[in-house]
């Protein structure tokens, strides 16, 4: 069986693989690309493009093994477990070959080739919890999930009434095989509501930090496969893209930040975002100029960037301290700590706002 989506790609992509430093012992070597030695900015390596879902994705979703994360009173969020990619890599469309390469190399990141979007990283959960605690409302807001991976942050905003949500990931395979399917999994509002009623009662494991994570097991999957043909379709079956009103509020982009910015700045008017989420994206100091430029150009004058990050990325080099230094040198944004976990490997959520409200 093929797991492919058909996408209309409206902007041509560049070469997929580039000369890049690859992981050594599972960690990328960014030493040659640190901010100190980079008078030349990091090369754009993957040209940006927009993805338009153009076919019925039901088949893919029927075979998917979704997980659900529930945090406090937030709506449950569904996402494909990364293990599905290991098992089905050869059957999926993957022009970038990242599914096979990550499986071969057993690596979370391959610098310049695969930037880690196929799994949900820890700080995404931290940020979801902060949103729950602070009661952030999204009604009518324009949201960018920058370096989205699975896209849970953007999906939450969508579920909570954001006017538009744009998803960006470095890898087109991530957008096509993970982000978009996840959006579809979560877009069927009626289904999701009825699942909340049924499933809130105990299948999930309550974690001490309040995160309730439920995995749909192989057994559940077998049960689903054994279903009689006369039975109604499973609740989580997604609607065709054209039927999704939620989907009309979304756009999907892949590519590196420099060319992503260039692509959207060609639009008239160019997008401005009230909220930008970016989780676990500051591990590589070489990318700071491009990341900062995206935030600078695309954040609305009174907008807010939620940045979730580990304190330090061991073996990689980046981290909050270096990023704060970079931001301070630029003098555009002020940074506030919104949440800190000081035990173990320290994690943080910080907010960035323009120092002076821009008049544009």
Which of 178, 184, 129 shows the shortest CA–CA distance to 158?
184
Residues 120-159 that bind ligand SAM (CB under 6 A): 120-121, 123-124, 147-150
**Does 256 sit near ligand SAM (CB under 6 A)?**
yes
Helix H or strand E segment including 17: none
Contact (CB, 8 A) for 111 and 22: yes
Torsional class of 95: left (φ above 0), alpha (ψ -120 to 50), beta (otherwise): alpha
- Exposed, middle or buried, 302 (CB in 10 Å: 0-12/13-18/19+)? exposed
Q: Least separation, in Å, of the C-beta of 59 and ligand SAM?
A: 25
Q: Which one of the spans 14-22, 111-119, 180-188, 315-323 is the region binding ligand SAM (CB under 6 A)?
A: 111-119
**Does 274 sit near ligand SAM (CB under 6 A)?**
no
Token pair in block for residue 327:
């931001």
Q: Least separation, in Å, of the C-beta of 243 and ligand SAM?
A: 28
> Biggest alpha carbon distance in the chain?
65
Start-to-end CA span in the chain (Å): 51
Q: Least separation, in Å, of the C-beta of 120 and ligand SAM?
A: 5
**Helices 180-187 & 152-159 angle (0-180, nearest 10):** 30
Q: Give the integer Cα–Cα distance in Å for 269 and 252.
A: 18
Q: Least separation, in Å, of the C-beta of 348 and ligand SAM?
A: 13
| Residue closer to ligand SAM (CB basis): 113 or 216 | 113
Helix boundaries (H) for the chain: 58-63, 83-88, 98-105, 122-134, 152-159, 172-174, 180-187, 189-199, 218-225, 257-265, 288-298, 320-330
Contact (CB, 8 A) for 292 and 257: no
For the chain, the helix, strand and coil percentages under 3-state DSSP, each to the nearest 5: 35, 25, 40
Q: Least separation, in Å, of the C-beta of 109 and ligand SAM?
A: 7
Q: Least separation, in Å, of the C-beta of 226 and ligand SAM?
A: 34
Position closest to ligand SAM via CB? 147
Q: Least separation, in Å, of the C-beta of 291 and ligand SAM?
A: 7
**Selected binder of ligand SAM within 76, 116, 318, 319 (CB under 6 A):** 116
| Residue closer to ligand SAM (CB basis): 273 or 287 | 287
Q: Which one of the spans 33-41, 117-125, 216-224, 242-250 is the region binding ligand SAM (CB under 6 A)?
A: 117-125
Using the structure block, give the residue that is written with the tokens 């060609």. Answer: 266
| Residue closer to ligand SAM (CB basis): 102 or 279 | 279
| Residue closer to ligand SAM (CB basis): 117 or 204 | 117
Question: What mask, x for binding ligand SAM by CB under 6 A, covers residues 163 to 182?
Answer: ------xx------------
Residues 275-334 that bind ligand SAM (CB under 6 A): 279-281, 287, 290
| Residue closer to ligand SAM (CB basis): 47 or 148 | 148
Q: Least separation, in Å, of the C-beta of 10 and ligand SAM?
A: 19
Binding site for ligand SAM (CB under 6 A): 115-117, 120-121, 123-124, 147-150, 169-170, 256-257, 279-281, 287, 290
């Amino acid at each position: 069986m093929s797991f492919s989506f058909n996408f209309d790609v409206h902007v041509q992509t560049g070469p997929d693989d580039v000369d890049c430093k690859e992981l050594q012992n599972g960690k990328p070597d960014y030493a040659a690309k640190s901010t100190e030695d980079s008078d030349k900015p990091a090369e754009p390596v993957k040209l940006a493009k927009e993805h338009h879902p153009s076919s019925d994705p039901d088949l893919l979703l029927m075979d998917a093994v979704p997980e659900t994360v529930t945090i406090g009173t937030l709506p449950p969020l569904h996402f494909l477990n990364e293990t599905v990619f290991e098992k089905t890599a050869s059957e999926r469309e993957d022009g970038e070959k990242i599914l096979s390469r990550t499986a071969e190399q057993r690596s979370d990141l391959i610098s310049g080739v695969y930037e880690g979007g196929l799994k949900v990283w820890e700080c995404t959960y931290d940020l979801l919890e902060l949103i729950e605690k602070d009661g952030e409302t999204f009604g009518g807001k324009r949201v960018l999930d920058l370096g989205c991976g699975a896209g849970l942050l953007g999906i939450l905003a969508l579920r909570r009434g954001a006017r538009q949500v744009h998803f960006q990931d470095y890898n087109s395979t991530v957008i096509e095989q993970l982000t978009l399917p996840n959006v579809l999994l979560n877009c069927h509002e009626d289904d999701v509501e009825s699942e909340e009623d049924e499933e809130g009662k105990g299948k999930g494991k309550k974690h001490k930090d309040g995160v309730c994570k439920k995995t749909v097991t192989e057994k559940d999957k077998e049960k689903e496969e054994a279903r009689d043909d006369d039975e109604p379709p499973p609740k989580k079956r997604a609607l065709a893209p054209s039927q999704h009103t939620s989907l009309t509020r979304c756009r999907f982009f892949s590519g590196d930040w420099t060319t992503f910015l260039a692509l959207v700045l060609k639009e008239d008017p160019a997008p401005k975002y009230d909220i930008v989420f970016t989780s676990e994206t500051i591990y590589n100091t070489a990318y700071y100029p491009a990341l900062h430029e995206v935030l600078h150009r695309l954040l609305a004058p009174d907008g807010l960037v939620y940045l979730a990050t580990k304190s330090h990325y061991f073996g990689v080099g980046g981290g909050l301290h270096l990023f704060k230094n970079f931001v301070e040198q630029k003098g555009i944004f002020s940074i506030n700590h919104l949440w800190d976990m000081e035990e173990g490997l320290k994690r943080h959520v910080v907010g960035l706002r323009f120092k002076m409200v821009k008049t544009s």
